[in-house]
Amino acid sequence: MTPTLAYKLLTEADWAAAQASGVTASAVDLADGYVHLSTAEQVRETARRYFAGAGRIRLLRFELARLGDVRWEKSRGDDLFPHLYGPLEITKANAAWWLDPGPDGLPVFPRMI
């Protein structure tokens, strides 16, 4: 079954820029030409790999059906990840959390994710 929800992690700086512009625009997304998203099963590993030691992180949840051109493409370990080809409007998020770092520097997720 294909997941219906996707998550986007943003540093505080990327979140501030997204609030100012209305869309996310992280450096990796701009370089790759699409918005990197993760499913609930993938987002913790994404946080561990790319956000360890980054301080407080913003986590946004989106309904994939509301985003537009989402393509499932192979990435880490040949796992299929949702990639959005187009802008990710932050007003389309249906939930958001701040993830504080734990003692190991990794973002601590709420239980519901």
Cα distance between the two ends of the chain: 18
CATH architecture label of 5-87: Alpha-Beta Barrel (3.20)
Distance of alpha carbon 79 from alpha carbon 51, whole angstroms: 19
| Lowest-confidence region among 12-16, 82-86, 109-113 | 109-113
For 4-39, b/e burial (b = at least 16 CB within 10 A) is ebbbbbbbeebbeebeeeebbebeebeeeebbbbbb
**pLDDT, tens only, 23-40:** 999 999 999 999 999 999
80's CB contacts (< 8 A; 6+ apart) are 72, 73, 74
- What's the whole-model pTM score? 0.94
